[in-house]
Structure formats: structure tokens, C-alpha cells
């Protein structure tokens, strides 16, 4: 399993999905940069989530709020007081650990994973502090937001007034969040700077249990539509001692990463906590006036929250496959074509006799609708392998026959099957094939 993860990380770096942050200065372990393929993959996943949450749900709208917010927000939300992890140190190696990440045995014996005695427990606030203003003595202390959700709560009234929504309705947002994690690890799994995709659904008190179940189901289904192996997904309901300070009920969608089952997404019933806190701290009434019932009340919030960058890692892990062929091992990323960073690669069989020009014309024609790559170098087999390794679902080859009758071969990544089709059909074949996509070995 360790070897599998190393292969995935190495492919991600080698192919330009992810680079270490500021690598020429030795890198920064808690942050990563996304290369040409990684940036496109991230954007595709984000757009897919956004479309699923907003366009497919007429009762959900999107916003984009700022990273820097009034410091009172974090007092009201409880983050200044409660957004704390307990840190312990190995007294010999001085390595730091999150106390809740140690095993029961290590905690009972008060030893580190290396078997050495642990230091005293120290609370550690995860929020990054910064200051606004030029003068040190008058600068105002601010925080980089540790979650995007608060930007939604403080805009609850603005959205209600401008979008004419009635309960139940949701607000979605994608954006950066920052946490001063005690330990960052497992490549891009846990980082100090990351992106979240969150949706806050506002409901009438009393209907929240039902909506919690609804979103649990919707979000689990989502991963199936994304072609993720169902055997690698499970739900983990939070016990009393795991619940965050604001949560009434919570469940994690976990994924079986090569380093074990870990949280991918959290679904939380946050009760009336957030809106009541902001009402009391800001003095602005964030209750909802229910015209039908002719009464005012504070809505209950059901939240779905997933890390975009964590989802990128999950997609890389889930799609990575090594397939034994006759004389070689084929490395292939079997990711859903809807999120593949390169959708289509176009090749001329050879560079000469007008094939290159014809292939380039096809590339130009396709690249408006699909993210398309044009590749002329190396044997066709080598070009296919290069595209397999980055998850390109379709490759089109222009050969001598194409010059005569405008036909091409289209080759499918997972089955490696080829079909002869006309140039005018390429887009339709891709659209139909995207729609019918089922992950190899999974039933529909």
C-alpha cells in the first residue's frame, strides 16, 4: 500500500499534476502547487460539484465571499475559543502529534508512535493570524478563514433579500481555507492552505433530521456518479465525543486511501448555533419570517463540506491502475471523462504528407469544446501510453485513409478498443460515451 501511494505521488509530480510549493527554495511541506494537469483537474472537479449543487438544485444559489472577515465573526462562531487541537511532543525526537490522532494504547501509555514518553498536552489554535493596516500599533488583528461556511452565514440576510428564496434553500461556495495544522501529511491530504466546497442548507426547525438524511444520501450518490469505486466509500457517523462544538449530528463520508480510511467529506447538522450566535454578536436579526405560518424563527443548518484538494487526491488514488499487458505494464488513470484534465488527444500517424496539417485542423476544431492535446512525437503506441498515464479518455488518430474519406480512428482509454468514425462524428461520440461512462469493474 505504501508502494502504491508512492507510485501515485511520483506520477502526480512527474506528469505535472502537483509540485512542491516554492520548490526551488527547498519546498514548504504544508502547501502545494498545481501544475498544468492538476490545475485543470481541480477546475473540472470544482465545476462538476458546482453544477451538481447549484444548477441541478433550483433551491441552491452560489456566492463567493472574502477570505478576510471581521474578527468578531470568529468570536461568534466559537473559533477563537474552540478551534483547537491538542498537541503533544515526543520528548526524545521532538516530533509533534495531534493527541486525537494517537492510538488508544499510545494515549493510555502516554507514549509517541516511536515509543518515547510524551510531553504535556498543549492546546493549539488552528487559525492563522494576520493584521490589516500599515502601522503596527494601530493594525487590526484578523484571521485567514479556517472554513468558508462563515462567509455564507454572514450573507444569509443578503441572499434572502436579493434572491427571494424561501425555506428550505441552500447557499454554496468554493474557496480557500487555512488551518495551521499541527501535522501536515500524506501529500495533499492535509495541508495548511486548501480549498473547500461547502453548501449550507437552511431548513425549518423540526425538518432538519429528514434533510440531514437527504443530504447524506445525495452526497454519497454524488461519488458514485463520479465513477468512484463504491467498495472504497463508507459512512462514519460521529460519536458524542467526536462532535464539533457547533454540531448536533455529523457523519463523514470516508474513502479508503492507500494509507487507510480517512474523511473525505463531512455532513453536519449545525442546529441553530451559527445564525443565533451571529444574531447575538452582530445585533442584526437573522431570523426568517415564515409568511405561511406568520411567524419568525431561526432556521436550522445542514452543511455538506468537502475539501477540493482532498478530492483531487482521492480521484488520483481511485483512478490509478497498473495493467499487465503482454510485454509491459500499462499505467492508466481510470478517471471519469467529465473530470479528466485532457479529454481528447489528436495525433497524426506520421508528421509528413499532409497528415500533420489535417490532424492540427481536427485539434483546432475540437479544442473549443474539449480540452484537447496535439501530439506528434514518438510511435503511436508511446503516445497512447502517455495519454493513458494522465487519464485521457479518447485519442483520435489521423492516417492516410483520413486524407481520402475524412475518417479517423478513435481509441478508448479503458478498453483500448478502436473504432473508425467520421471527423464530423467525433464530438457526438465523445458526448455519448461520457454519458454512458461506467468505471471498469463496477455495475451501473
Q: How far apart (Å, rounded) are the C-alpha atoms in residues 141 and 122?
A: 23
* Single residue of 191, 372, 397, 402 touching ligand ATP by CB under 6 A: 191
Minimum distance, C-beta of residue 189 to ligand ATP, in the bound complex (Å): 7
Site membership for ligand ATP, residue 306 (CB under 6 A)? yes
Among 190, 219, 278, 439, binds ligand ATP (CB under 6 A): 190
Give the CA-trace dihedral at 201, 202, 207, 213, to 10 degrees: 10
Burial of 28 (0-12, 13-18, 19+ CB in 10 A): middle
- 79 sits near ligand ATP (criterion: CB under 6 A): no
Binding status of residue 337 toward ligand ATP by CB under 6 A: no
Give how far the C-alpha of residue 165 lies from the chain's centroid of Cα atoms, to the nearest Å. Answer: 28
d(CA 300, CA 209): 10
Q: How many Å apart are CA 28 and CA 43, to the nearest integer?
A: 23
Q: Which of 33, 209, 249, 263 binds ligand ATP (CB under 6 A)?
A: 263
- Per CB under 6 A, which region of 5-13, 71-79, 189-197, 376-384 contacts ligand ATP? 189-197
- To ligand ATP, the closest distance from the beta carbon of 195 in angstroms equals 8
The set of cell numbers assigned to 199 is 453548501
For the chain, the residue count is: 444
> Could you give the string, one character per residue 161-180, with x where binding to ligand ATP holds by CB under 6 A and - elsewhere?
------------------x-
Give the nearest residue (CB) to ligand ATP: 307
By CB under 6 A, tell whether 310 contacts ligand ATP. yes
38-46, 300-308, 337-345, 401-409 -> range binding ligand ATP (CB under 6 A): 300-308
Residues 125-164, interacting with ligand ATP (CB under 6 A): 147
What is the Cα 195 distance to its own chain's centre?
7
In terms of phi and psi (left: phi > 0; alpha: psi -120 to 50; beta: otherwise), the region of 26 is left
Task: Please state the separation of Cα 172 from the chain's center in Å.
Answer: 14
**CA dist 74 to 107, 153, 241, 281, Å?**
31, 12, 23, 10
Among 50, 194, 273, 347, binds ligand ATP (CB under 6 A): 194
CA distance 344 to 430: 9
Per CB under 6 A, does 270 bind ligand ATP?
no
User: Least distance to ligand ATP from the beta carbon of 258, Å?
Assistant: 17
CB of 291 to ligand ATP, least distance (A): 34
Which residues form the interface with ligand ATP (CB under 6 A)? Answer: 147, 179, 181, 190-191, 194, 196, 263-266, 305-307, 309-310
Amino acid at each position: 500500500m505504501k508502494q502504491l501511494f508512492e507510485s501515485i505521488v511520483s506520477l502526480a509530480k512527474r506528469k505535472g499534476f502537483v509540485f512542491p510549493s516554492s520548490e526551488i527554495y527547498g519546498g514548504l511541506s504544508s502547501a502545494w502547487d498545481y501544475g498544468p494537469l492538476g490545475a485543470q483537474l481541480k477546475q473540472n472537479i470544482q465545476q462538476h460539484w458546482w453544477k451538481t449543487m447549484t444548477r441541478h438544485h433550483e433551491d441552491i444559489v452560489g456566492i463567493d465571499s472574502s477570505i478576510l472577515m471581521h474578527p468578531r465573526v470568529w468570536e461568534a462562531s466559537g473559533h477563537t475559543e474552540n478551534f483547537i487541537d491538542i498537541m503533544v511532543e515526543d520528548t526524545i525526537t521532538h516530533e509533534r502529534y495531534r493527541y486525537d490522532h494517537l492510538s488508544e494504547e499510545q494515549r493510555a501509555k502516554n507514549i509517541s508512535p516511536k515509543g518515547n514518553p510524551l510531553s504535556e498536552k498543549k492546546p493549539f489554535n488552528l487559525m492563522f493570524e494576520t493584521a490589516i493596516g500599515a502601522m503596527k500599533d494601530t493594525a487590526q488583528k484578523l484571521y485567514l478563514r479556517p472554513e468558508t461556511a462563515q462567509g455564507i452565514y454572514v450573507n444569509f440576510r443578503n441572499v434572502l433579500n436579493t434572491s427571494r428564496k424561501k425555506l428550505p434553500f441552500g447557499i454554496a461556495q468554493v474557496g480557500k481555507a487555512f488551518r495551521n495544522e499541527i501535522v501536515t501529511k500524506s501529500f495533499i491530504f492535509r495541508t495548511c492552505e486548501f480549498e473547500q466546497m461547502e453548501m449550507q442548507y437552511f431548513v425549518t426547525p423540526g425538518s432538519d433530521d429528514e434533510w440531514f438524511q437527504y443530504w447524506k444520501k445525495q452526497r454519497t450518490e454524488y461519488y458514485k456518479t463520479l465513477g468512484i469505486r463504491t467498495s472504497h466509500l463508507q459512512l462514519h457517523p460521529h460519536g458524542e465525543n467526536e462532535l464539533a462544538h457547533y454540531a448536533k449530528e455529523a457523519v463523514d463520508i470516508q474513502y479508503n486511501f492507500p494509507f487507510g480510511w480517512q474523511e473525505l467529506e463531512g455532513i453536519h447538522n449545525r442546529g441553530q448555533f451559527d445564525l443565533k450566535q451571529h444574531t447575538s454578536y452582530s445585533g442584526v436579526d437573522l431570523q426568517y419570517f415564515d409568511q405561511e405560518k406568520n411567524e419568525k424563527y431561526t432556521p436550522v443548518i445542514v452543511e455538506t463540506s468537502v475539501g477540493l484538494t482532498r478530492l483531487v487526491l482521492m480521484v488520483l488514488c481511485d483512478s490509478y491502475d497498473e495493467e499487465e499487458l503482454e510485454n509491459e505494464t500499462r499505467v492508466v488513470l481510470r478517471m471519469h471523462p467529465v473530470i479528466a484534465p485532457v479529454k481528447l488527444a489528436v495525433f497524426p500517424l506520421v508528421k509528413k504528407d499532409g497528415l500533420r496539417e489535417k490532424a492540427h485542423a481536427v485539434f483546432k476544431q475540437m479544442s473549443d469544446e474539449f480540452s484537447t492535446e496535439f501530439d506528434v512525437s514518438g510511435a503511436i503506441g508511446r503516445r497512447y501510453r502517455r495519454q493513458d498515464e494522465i487519464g485521457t479518455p479518447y485519442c483520435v488518430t489521423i492516417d492516410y485513409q483520413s486524407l481520402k474519406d475524412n475518417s479517423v480512428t478513435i481509441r478508448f482509454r479503458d478498453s483500448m478498443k478502436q473504432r473508425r468514425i467520421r471527423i464530423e462524428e467525433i464530438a457526438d461520440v465523445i458526448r455519448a460515451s461520457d454519458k454512458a461512462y461506467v468505471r471498469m469493474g463496477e455495475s451501473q
